[in-house]
């Protein structure tokens, strides 16, 4: 537990403040929520009630109605779980910093989820400055990764190869669930129920992206149901899941993104089958632990992770420079791409899956991104188009995985390949690979039936 707690401000406790505040942002659950457990512990030590705050910001970076809907579907359940611990749950509406500062003013002590992306860091720095001036202790707690970042590789690591041994050495130390006590002191206010429809209406965000509840329903119960179904029916065949037509992956990424399920509990549930399906379990845990936490390392430690000019390696920029004037046979606009109007039936199917369901199979994400590089007038335009579409349509978009995976398309965490047109030494993918390796027409048929 102590390795997860970052003490940002340490102050004497101000006597007239009547509550401990936990600002919950990314960890939308009570189980395996180290921040919440820590906040309850502090509240009980100080003999104060606990207020759990969530700020609903209608202008959240890159969020649209699709993301809000999925998130809010889990809120009533979240509220009930928090109330069961004898804490108050408040949903504030408005600008993140303004709201958290307002609520911090009443607090003797503040706890918040740790943040990894650049806007998360900016908010936390501002709140630290504010808490320091106001004399309020403030901690940020890491619940979104299994291994706290500093205990993996505490710098911009080169690739999965450099991070893997460091994570595997310590992972067992970080799988324990935190002790979840109840708050002893009565809550200051009775939390009103979350009026889902009313909140959705007030958000009034970009509704040009359709809702996807018929494919993914938000919330913890649904996350656990999917985990259970995956373990019972698909885990044993996970090695075949590379084939997009098999639908054998867990589809848990949207739930991980919103913190509705913890990577720790998925890890423990899957790892308990290590003797039964050793290869499948190892392969799954490689994705969940190494690949996913490589992405957190990337966004946290690699400066300029979200800018075309700084997100990949020198060899990749050199090769792109050498090939920037190669002729492009096709160039498509964002509108043509996102309405699946290209000449490539496999790209169109992948794009349709993304637009209609908010999800796309991992292998098709690679193919999809590589094609956008091939069909854009230059690499920077390709990068910006891919990030835009990724974060607009995927329920799991706007995530550390989004930035690391898109950078991977441009060589990050990858190696140089045989040189060819447009791609230079960046890895290339084509439809022959799809046809050779997979039952790809079955995938197209599946998407066409959506
Ligand atoms: C161009 C491109 C864009 C991507 N954008 C995103 C994104 O916005 N958000 C996102 O969460 N993932 C992204 N990924 C990574 C990966 O495709 C998804 O995490 C995965 O498809 C989610 O499906 P699943 O939960 O069924 O995966 P499973 O195979 O069941 O894997 C379990 C978990 O492991 C992690 N994982 C699996 N594959 C990867 C991977 N290649 N890299 C990192 N973590 C992985 C995810 O957290 C996933 O939920 C992207 C990949 C590419 C190539």
Whether the per-residue pLDDT at 180 is higher than 70: the answer is yes
pLDDT category of residue 79 using cuts at 50, 70 and 90: very high
For 92, phi then psi, to 5°, come to -95, 150
Q: What is the pLDDT of residues 81-134, one digit of tens each?
A: 999 999 999 999 999 999 999 999 999 999 999 999 999 999 999 999 999 999
**Is the shortest distance between the CB of 250 and ligand 1 below 6 Å?**
yes
Q: What is the pLDDT of residues 236-277, one digit of tens each?
A: 999 999 999 999 999 999 999 999 999 999 999 999 999 999
**Is the shortest distance between the CB of 235 and ligand 1 below 6 Å?**
no
Q: Which atom of ligand 1 is nearest to the CA of 408?
A: 53
Ligand 1 centroid to residue 90 C-alpha, Å: 32
Ligand 1 centroid to residue 12 C-alpha, Å: 43
Probe ligand 1: pick from 167, 235, 362, max atoms within 8 Å of CB? 362
**Domain enclosing residue 156, as ranges:** 145-178+220-302
Tell whether 140 and 152 lie within a shared domain.
no
CA-proximal residue: ligand 1, atom 17 (nearest): 362
Ligand 1 centroid to residue 362 C-alpha, Å: 6
CATH number at 417 reads: 1.10.579.10
| Residues 151, 174 contacting (CB under 8 angstroms) | yes
Ligand 1 centroid to residue 252 C-alpha, Å: 9
Probe ligand 1: pick from 396, 407, 408, 426, max atoms within 8 Å of CB? 396
Q: Which atom of ligand 1 is nearest to the CA of 250?
A: 30
CATH number at 22 reads: 3.40.50.620
Judge whether 109 lies within some domain.
yes
Which one, of 55, 295, 27, lies nearest residue 156 by Cα?
A: 295
CA-proximal residue: ligand 1, atom 12 (nearest): 401
Number of domains in the chain: 3
Enter the pTM of the model. Answer: 0.97
What would the mean pLDDT of 132-147 be, rounded to a whole number? 97
Residues pairing with 138 in the sheet:
9, 110
Residue 275 burial by Cβ neighbours in a 10 Å radius (0-12, 13-18, 19+): exposed
Q: What is the pLDDT of residues 302-335, one digit of tens each?
A: 999 999 999 999 999 999 999 999 999 999 999 9
Tell whether 123 and 62 lie within a shared domain.
yes
């Amino acid at each position: 537990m102590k390795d997860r707690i970052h003490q940002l401000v340490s102050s004497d406790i101000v006597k007239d403040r009547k509550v401990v505040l936990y600002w919950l942002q990314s960890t939308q659950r009570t189980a395996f929520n180290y921040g919440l457990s820590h906040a309850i512990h502090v509240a009980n030590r100080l003999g104060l009630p606990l207020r759990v705050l969530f700020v609903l910001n209608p202008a959240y970076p890159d969020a649209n109605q699709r993301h809000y809907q999925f998130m809010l579907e889990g809120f009533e359940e979240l509220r009930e779980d928090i109330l069961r611990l004898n804490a108050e749950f408040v949903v504030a509406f408005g600008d993140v910093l303004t709201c958290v500062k307002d609520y911090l003013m009443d607090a003797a002590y503040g706890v918040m989820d740790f943040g990894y992306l650049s806007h998360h860091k900016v908010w936390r720095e501002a709140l630290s400055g504010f808490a320091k001036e106001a004399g309020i202790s403030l901690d940020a707690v890491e619940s979104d990764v299994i291994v706290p970042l500093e205990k993996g590789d505490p710098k911009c690591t080169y690739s999965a190869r450099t991070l893997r041994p460091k994570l595997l050495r310590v992972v067992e130390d970080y799988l324990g669930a935190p002790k979840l006590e109840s708050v002893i002191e009565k809550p200051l206010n009775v939390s009103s129920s979350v009026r889902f429809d009313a909140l959705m209406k007030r958000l009034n965000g970009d509704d040009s992206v359709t809702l996807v509840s018929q494919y993914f329903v938000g919330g913890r119960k649904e996350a656990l149901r999917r985990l259970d179904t995956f373990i019972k029916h698909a885990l044993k065949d996970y090695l075949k899941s590379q084939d997009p037509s098999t639908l054998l992956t867990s589809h848990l990424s949207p739930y991980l993104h919103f913190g509705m399920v913890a990577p720790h509990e998925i890890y423990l549930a899957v790892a308990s089958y290590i003797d039964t399906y050793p290869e499948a379990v190892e392969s799954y845990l490689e994705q969940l632990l190494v690949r996913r936490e490589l992405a957190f390392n990337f966004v946290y430690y690699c400066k300029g992770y979200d800018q075309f000019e700084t997100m990949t390696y020198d060899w990749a920029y050199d090769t792109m420079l050498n090939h920037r004037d190669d002729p492009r046979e096709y160039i498509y606009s964002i509108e043509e791409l996102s309405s699946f109007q290209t000449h490539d039936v496999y790209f169109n199917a992948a794009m349709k899956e993304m637009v209609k369901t908010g999800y796309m199979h991992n292998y098709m994400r690679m193919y999809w991104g590589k094609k956008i590089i091939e069909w854009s007038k230059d690499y920077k335009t390709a990068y910006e188009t891919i990030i835009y579409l990724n974060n607009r349509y995927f329920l799991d978009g706007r995530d550390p995985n989004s930035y690391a995976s898109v950078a991977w398309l441009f060589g990050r965490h990858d190696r140089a390949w045989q040189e060819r047109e447009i791609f230079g030494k960046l890895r290339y993918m084509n439809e022959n690979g799809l046809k050779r390796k997979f039952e790809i027409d079955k995938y197209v048929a599946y998407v066409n039936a959506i």
